[in-house]
Amino acid sequence: MKQRILIVNADDCNLTPKVTEAILKAHATGIVTSTTFMVNLPAAADVVRELLACKKLGVGLHLNLTFGEPVSRAAVVKGLLHKDGRFKRIPDYLKKFPPTAEIAEEFKAQFHRFVKLFKRSPTHVDVHHHLHDHLPFFEALTSLAKKQGLPIRWTRLFTEPQIRTSRKNVKTTDHFYGNLDPHTFWTDEVLRHLLFTLPEGVSEVMCHPGWVDDELCAISSLTFPREREYQLFSSNELRRYIARLGIQLAHFGWFK
């Protein structure tokens, strides 16, 4: 029987201190095995040290083009920015996609900042708000991933045979589970059903554990569901349930 590998990735590490604390706690006591770090936001040195000290936690790069300021010089990524120098929001991008070259430039700059902060490459790369479901962002992401030899998060574009064929050398999981609806969240019943029926191969479960405070409420529409997901994904009993099912927990370093 083919093995069942599960990566449980907590998005938005470094969005706020309370989100980062909750992710670390969910890794320490529960089933979170991976996280993705936002490098264009201020990063405290002690947070980086704490993440590096978690030897079983994969730390990837959460490429971010929808919140905060760019790592690149504003002059070279003008198509990504409002007049105030901050990133555009999702509706702006969906009205008119920016040049792929500018997306690639910012992705490259964020990758190099990650390496500077962590003194190593990320375990994988994905994109905040799943923008790589859209072709220009996907092309920039796969270009970076291929150059650096990194896995990426699965995208619905891989359901298109032509794209899957042309990107056959890009490493990703066999299955992906999660959504970005700010009003919904993983429940114990839904997650246990998924685990019980988890298919063979490598699967990723995307989650957003976090603790809510005024800072988070001021910048994110995803608030209350983060605390519900923290309660679920920090469960030690759920870790025991996964073990009983014979599922192997891993992070994206498994691909190496």
What are the sequence ranges of the domains in the chain? Answer: 4-62+107-255
Cα distances from 114 to residues 109, 125, 183, in angstroms, run 9, 11, 31
- Mean pLDDT over each residue of the chain, to the nearest integer: 96
CB 32 within 8 A of CB 23: yes
CB 81 within 8 A of CB 70: yes
Helix (H) or strand (E) holding 68: none
Q: What is the pLDDT of residues 198-249, one digit of tens each?
A: 999 999 999 999 999 999 999 999 999 999 999 999 999 999 999 999 999 9
Binned at pLDDT 50, 70 and 90, residue 148 comes out as: very high
Give the per-residue pLDDT at 19. Answer: 98
For the domain made up of 4-62+107-255, give the CATH fold. TIM Barrel (3.20.20)
Give the per-residue pLDDT at 181. Answer: 83
pTM reported for the whole predicted model? 0.96
CB 174 within 8 A of CB 146: no
3-state class of 35 per DSSP? Answer: strand
